[in-house]
Amino acid sequence: MSVLTSPRGKVEVVHCRRTESQDIYCIKNLIRKFTQKLFGNLNIIYLLEKANLAITLHNDQEEIMAQATFLDYPNWNIATQDDWVSVFRELDSDIPCTPLNTLFMHLFVAVEEYSVGCCKEIIRTVFKAVPDLHFVFLIVPSCMSLGSTLITAFSQVGCVPSLTNDEDFAVHVCHRQNHYPQLHIRKARVEDHDDLMPIFLHHDTILKETYGEYFLAELIEAQDEENHAVVCEVEGVAVGFMSVCSQVNLQLLHKCFDLGPFHGLCIPHQDDILEPPQEFSIHESSDSKLENISEESQKIVKEPQEAVSLETRESIQRKGAEATVEEALSPVVSENTSEVEDSEKLSQVSSMVYMGYYTSHRSSLSLSLPEDTSSFRPVYRGASTAFCIQLFFIDKKYEARSLDFMNFVFHLFHDKDFCIISVPHLTPEFVLIQSFVKVVPFNNCTLDQDLYIFHRAGLLKTIKIRLATLSDTPGVEKLVSTLMPSKSILEDLKQYNEARRDPDGTPLQVFVAEVAEQVVGIAVIRNEMDIEYIRSHYNIEDFIYFNHHQREEHGHLYHFVLNPIFRHYTKFFLKEILRLGYKSCLYYPVYPQVKESKVQSPKAHSLTSALHYLVPVRPRRQIVYPLEKLGINAPSKEVSKDTLSYALNHTNRKLSLEPKITINAKIVVVGASNVGISFLETLVFCSHLKFSNLTLISTYGLPGKKLLGNEQRKFLANDLTSLLDDSQTQEASPHLGSLCSPVAQMVKNLPALQETQVRSLGLEDPRRRTWQPTPVFLSGEFHGRRSLVGYSP
Asked if the model's pLDDT at residue 618 lies above 80, the reply is yes
Closest to 21 measured CA to CA, from 61, 52, 56: 56
pLDDT at 749 over 60: no
pLDDT surpasses 50 at 758? no
Query: What gap in Å lies between CA 298 and CA 482, rounded to an integer?
Result: 11
Residue 292 clears pLDDT 80, i.e. is over it: no
- 258-278 tens-digit pLDDT: 888 888 999 998 888 888 876
Q: Is the pLDDT of residue 788 over 70?
A: no
Q: Residue 265 in 3-state DSSP?
A: helix
pLDDT at 70 exceeding the cut of 50: yes
pLDDT value at residue 703: 65
| pLDDT value of residue 304 | 36
643 pLDDT band (50/70/90 cuts)?
confident
pLDDT confidence of residue 666: 87
Q: Evaluate if residue 759 carries a pLDDT over 60.
A: no
Distance CA(211)–CA(98), nearest Å, equals 48
Q: Residue 561 above 80 pLDDT?
A: yes
Residue 364: band (very low, low, confident or very high) from pLDDT cuts 50, 70, 90? very low
Q: Count CB-CB contacts under 10 A for residue 518.
A: 17
**Which pLDDT belongs to residue 704?**
60
Higher per-residue pLDDT: 343 or 771 = 343
**Mean pLDDT of all residues in 221-234:** 92
- pLDDT the model gives residue 698: 84
- DSSP-assigned letter for residue 35: H
Output the DSSP codes for 422-444.
EEETTSPPPTGGGGSEEPPBPTT
Question: What pLDDT does residue 775 have?
Answer: 33
Q: What is the pLDDT of residue 558?
A: 93
Between residues 69 and 209, the one the model is more confident about = 69
* Residue 654 pLDDT > 90: yes
Q: Which of 590, 749, 746, 776 is nearest to 683 (CA)?
A: 746
pLDDT given at position 719: 53
> What is the reported pLDDT for 271?
85
pLDDT band of 525, cuts 50, 70, 90: very high
Region 508-530 average pLDDT: 93
Q: What is the mean pLDDT of residues 274-301?
A: 48
Mean pLDDT of 327-346: 38
Mean pLDDT computed over 636-659: 84
* Amino acid of residue 594: V
User: Is residue 313 predicted with pLDDT exceeding 70?
Assistant: no
429-478 pLDDT tens trace: 899 999 999 998 888 888 888 999 999 999 999 999 999 999 999 999 99
User: Which residues 6+ apart lie within 8 Å of 559 measured at CB?
Assistant: 360, 485, 488, 489, 492, 522, 523, 524, 605, 606, 608
Quote the mean pLDDT of the chain: 77
Supply the pLDDT for residue 374. 58
Residue 479 has pLDDT above 70, yes or no: yes
pLDDT of residue 753: 31
| Residue 756 pLDDT exceeds 80 | no
Averaged pLDDT for residues 570-587: 95
pLDDT value at position 707?
A: 56
For 682-709, the pLDDT digits (tens) are: 999 998 888 988 888 887 777 666 555 5
Rounded to the nearest 10°, the torsion over CA 757, 758, 759, 763 is 160
